[in-house]
A and B are shown apart, each in its own frame.
Chain A
Amino acid sequence: MVTDDRGQAHTLEGVVASLVLLSAVIFALEMTAVTPLSASTSSQHLENQQESTARGILGSAAESGALKQSVLFWNETSEQFHNTSAVGYYTSGPPPNEFGRMLNRSFDRQGIAYNVYLGFTSAGGGRGDTRLVYQGRPSDNAVRATWTVPVFENDQIYDHEGQPTGTTVAESSSFYASNAGDGAVYNVVRVEVVVWRI
């Protein structure tokens, strides 16, 4: 009964073959982890979209003058941005000006968090920065967009209603950036918006 004797060998071969198949299936599945089209918070498409939105907001705010107004939205008395708490920057919502309303329309209502930093050159030539909006530490999937805003010595600081106060940045003793430029250029502020999904 030699053929009956082969029964065990068949079983063994079957087991080995199934193991080979199983490992091939596992290997093939491992090759496709998270793709750009997977619906997850790490989607590349979403990041691209958020970056474009942030850049679009900066561009249109710069065009309408709202970005410069926001950069100069400074309370000289309390030496912080208008209507902020003791920390000096906005934490739970956007700044109460046109740039803030643009951020609110695009991000706050979509459940997207953002930070806005203002970078400038300090009087000694080094780098300084201050927070305009800070909603927490960005996630690993955060994206950013930047815009450059020149500030001239005769640019006026804005009051909490968005009207020029009549005090220029050069006259102000408490403005966050100091006079670092030659000629009539007071400073150049780099507005950086960092965006991520909560």
Chain B
Amino acid sequence: MADLSPVGTAGGSAAGRDSRYATARERGQIILVGGFVIAATLIALALVMNSAIYTQNLATQSDTSGAVDANAYQRAVEHGTADAVVYANDVNDSSDYDDLEANVTENVAAFSDLSTRQAVTRGHVPNVSVVDGTEGSSLTYDGGVEFTNTGVSHAGDDSNNWTIADGVDSTRRFSIGVDDPLSLNVSGNKELHVVADDGSDEWRMNVSETGGDVTIGIYNGTYTECNYTPSNSFWINVTAGTVAGSVCEPLSFAEGIGTYDLRYENTSAIEGNYSLLVDDSSPPSNYGTGDHEEETAIYSTTVDVTYRTSDLYYETEVRVAPGEADD
């Protein structure tokens, strides 16, 4: 270390030409050494700063593993499978459930094949295959008049109050079309009721009309309602919770009800149509008379989705039941 003591003080050399010479010679290098020290400090600081910036850079990098793509693919599969189920039920329209399921399996496999061919060009390998399905029934009426059913044979039913399906776990695409709003009976307790009853609890929807205003009332332990003023015919989408396309807040189909029996009451108090799918493969023999029809249908399909990239293996099972209440 250089001797920084002033000339002639203690610690310095004895006064004299030689000692002054020696001190001045040592002081001279302090400038260079100081320069080096400051430079090294600056570079060390820059290193620390830079590693912090690099960390930020890494943290903001977008996902490259393909997890987002896998998620997008899963949603595309949900739509594709729903389309395949609708195609089988509406277009294939076989009365044999195995035929319907074979149709869905074939179409899902074709979708899987084509989408894989496109994704492999980016190094992603998706695959989808049908695991199983649930048999159900499609129940429809397109008579356009009262829902009164003269062909009922289920115990306890009459033509005006009859069971749609019993032992139902879930229902999808349940919609009621009102052809003539003025046909909705207004007197007393005679309006149309849709009842889901699990033996201990009851979910009840009634549709009534007063002075041109239609009230959709929901009784589920407590009573709530929403209103709609129709100009002509309109649809109540019971499982989607909408009336003429607008959300009806209280309408949440069979909420809090276990396995239920589904029935209509006062069917003479409406003129229109209905359609629904239930997961009950053998509904009561109330169908076949008039325009009340029952057909074998696929209620839901479960598919296995896998998505592979170099960094990711994603696999999940997806149950597809288009138009279900919690869909």
Contacts and interface: CB of A to CB of B under 8 A. Distances in A.
A149 B25 contact: no
A127 B121 contact: yes
Interface string A56-75: 00110010000000000000
B76 A147 contact: yes
Contacts, number: 151
Interface stretch (B33-41, B232-240, B241-249): B33-41
Contacts of A55: 68, 72
B50 A62 contact: no
A149 B76 contact: yes
Contact of A150 (B36, B68, B79): B79
B219 interface: no
A185 B35 contact: no
Contacts of A87: none
Contacts of B34: 17
B32 interface: yes
Given A20-B35, A181-B113, A28 B43 contact: yes
B154 interface: no
Interface in A117-170: 119-121, 125, 127, 143, 145-150, 152, 154
Nearest to A185: B110
Interface in B24-76: 24-25, 28-29, 31-32, 34-36, 38-40, 42-43, 45-47, 49-50, 53, 56-57, 60-62, 68-69, 72-73, 75-76
A47 interface: yes
A154 B91 contact: yes
Contacts of B21: 2-3
A41 interface: no
B31 to A, nearest CB: 5
Contact of B24 (A2, A17, A188): A2
Main secondary structure of the interface of B (DSSP, over half): helix
B46 A48 contact: no
A62 B43 contact: no
B80 A150 contact: yes
B150 interface: no
Contacts of B62: 44, 47-48, 51, 143
Contacts of B60: 36, 44-45, 48
Contact of B83 (A25, A148, A152): A152
16 contacts: A2-B24, A18-B35, A20-B35, A29-B46, A44-B60, A44-B61, A48-B62, A62-B76, A125-B117, A127-B117, A147-B72, A148-B72, A185-B114, A188-B115, A190-B115, A190-B118
Given A32-B50, A185-B111, 9 more contacts: A20-B39, A24-B40, A27-B43, A28-B43, A44-B60, A45-B60, A58-B72, A121-B114, A146-B72
